[in-house]
């Protein structure tokens, strides 16, 4: 499993290939939370026009879309394995 920090002791959060040994809330800034919320709202309302976004938003939204697609794909694979 990959590690995002080098501290010893038991992990406090793990997901797929990421493990951290400190509270994950300390990694979430108000800026990153705002980007996630805006991504979800814009995605729910329809297509996102990247011409209306800052470079930071485009980068964040691309990363979030990739992560969401992977989660959905993994969830579908898990459902097939169970049935």
pLDDT digits (tens, 9 = 90+) for 49-80: 889 899 999 999 999 999 999 888 887 766 65
| pLDDT tens per residue, range 27-50 | 789 999 999 999 999 889 987 788
> Is the Cα torsion angle 78, 81, 82, 83 positive or negative in sign?
positive
Neighbours of 39 (CB within 10 A): 19
Predicted local distance difference test score (pLDDT) of residue 81 = 56
Predicted local distance difference test score (pLDDT) of residue 12 = 87
**Position 3 confidence tier, pLDDT thresholds 50, 70, 90:** very low
Neighbours of 22 (CB within 10 A): 14
């Amino acid at each position: 499993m990959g590690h995002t920090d080098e501290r010893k002791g038991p992990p406090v959060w793990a997901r797929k290939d990421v493990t951290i040994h400190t509270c994950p809330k300390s990694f979430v800034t108000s800026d990153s939370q705002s980007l996630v919320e805006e991504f979800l709202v814009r995605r729910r309302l329809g297509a996102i026009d990247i011409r209306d976004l800052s470079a930071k938003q485009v980068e964040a939204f691309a990363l979030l879309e990739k992560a969401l697609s992977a989660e959905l794909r993994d969830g579908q694979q898990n459902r097939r394995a169970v049935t």
